Chain A
Amino acid sequence: MRLQYPPTVRIIEVPCTGKVDIIHLLQAFEYGADGVIVVGCMEGDCHYQKGNLYAKTRVKRAKEILDKVGLGGERVAMFNLSSGMGGRFAEIIKEMTNKILELGPSPVRGAAAKAKATGAAGEVTA
């Protein structure tokens, strides 16, 4: 298909979205991600029966947590695609990239860099 999509995304493959835990989603933000999307199979099509449904509940909880800690739950999202929906996958990456560009960098990244800079200054004055 040779579809083009922005090179902003790093793909992490998992055997099933049921493997994706809230911890993984939150750690991605700790490591500096500006947004995370979970792409699972269509609902009802999970080879392991409920993997994508588990992922859905975890993404929902991750959204709630991100809202409460000040990052914004809209930075994480889940989509359900089949293996024949490459076109839609490319569209989603474009849409999510645009959304993240609108939102700006994750406040964690900016704050971490700032803290590092002021921390270094603090060491000098101490």
Chain B
Amino acid sequence: MIKAKPKPLEEIIDNVKDFNKLLIAGCDGCVTVCEAGGLKEVKILAAALRLYFTQAGKQVQVDEASLTRQCEKEYLAQLSDRMDGYDAAVSLACGVGAQYLAEMYNHKIVFPGVDTCFMGVNEERGLYSERCQACGRCILAETGGICPIARCSKRMLNGPCGGSDKGKCEINPDIPCAWELIYERLKTLGQLDRFERPVEPKDWSTSRDGGPRKIVREDLRI
């Protein structure tokens, strides 16, 4: 899932301090799971902003809403009869949701309320780590289910490099060497012969190197 972290409150206050009618729009999708967006975070941010404006002697209307997903027009349309009443919105969705909200209501100012970080897993509550970089051509079948693109600091296709030290990456001893993990996993699976076949250079055109990407599924389109 997409992982994000809340933006510093000072930054949000600085963005919205000159407006009089604000909507805090959450997303009940991915960012709710990592407790950065969603209804609960919307309520917390809205209460914090109301407290800030009240103690500063300003009368500012701060309303709350949270949509099932901000990355779909159908859900964003639920705000259509309300948006005209606001000067600006703070989106507690990932960068995708914030952009789609701004795209759908292009006459409104939309501020991001979270910093979108990566696609990753919940290792435990409050601890999330990256697993996928959406390179567009999955090689997990070759690498024992561990992605060297997302988890190797150098994105090496034939690792490990000389910076691997006791199973850790040279850039940070807290980061496990992806190729050490791949080696151990392939050993467990009895597939160490995979190391005898070098991986061919990857076609990066399906990644960001090919510019903004689009999926067209003719089988799904009407």
Contact = CB atoms under 8 A, between A and B. Distances in A.
Interface of A: 21-23, 26-27, 29-30, 65-66, 68-71, 106-108, 111-112, 114-115, 119
A112 B48 CA distance: 15
Name the 6 nearest CB pairs between A and B, nearest first. A26-B47, A69-B52, A107-B55, A68-B9, A69-B51, A70-B55
B59 A119 contact: yes
Contacts of B51: 26, 29-30, 66, 69-71, 108
B55 A69 contact: yes
B43 interface: yes
Given A30-B50, A65-B9, A71 B44 contact: no
Given A68-B10, A69-B9, A26 B56 contact: no
Contact of B44 (A65, A106, A115, A119): A65
Contacts of B52: 68-70
Interface size class of B (residues with CB under 8 A): 10 to 19
Given A69-B9, A71-B55, 10 more contacts: A65-B9, A65-B48, A68-B10, A68-B13, A69-B52, A69-B55, A71-B51, A106-B55, A114-B57, A115-B58
A36 to B, nearest CB: 13
B54 A23 contact: no
A68 B11 CA distance: 11
A114 B48 CA distance: 19
Contacts of A108: 51, 54-55
10 contacts: A21-B40, A23-B40, A26-B48, A27-B47, A65-B44, A66-B51, A68-B9, A68-B52, A70-B56, A111-B55
B49 to A, nearest CB: 8
Contacts of A111: 54-57
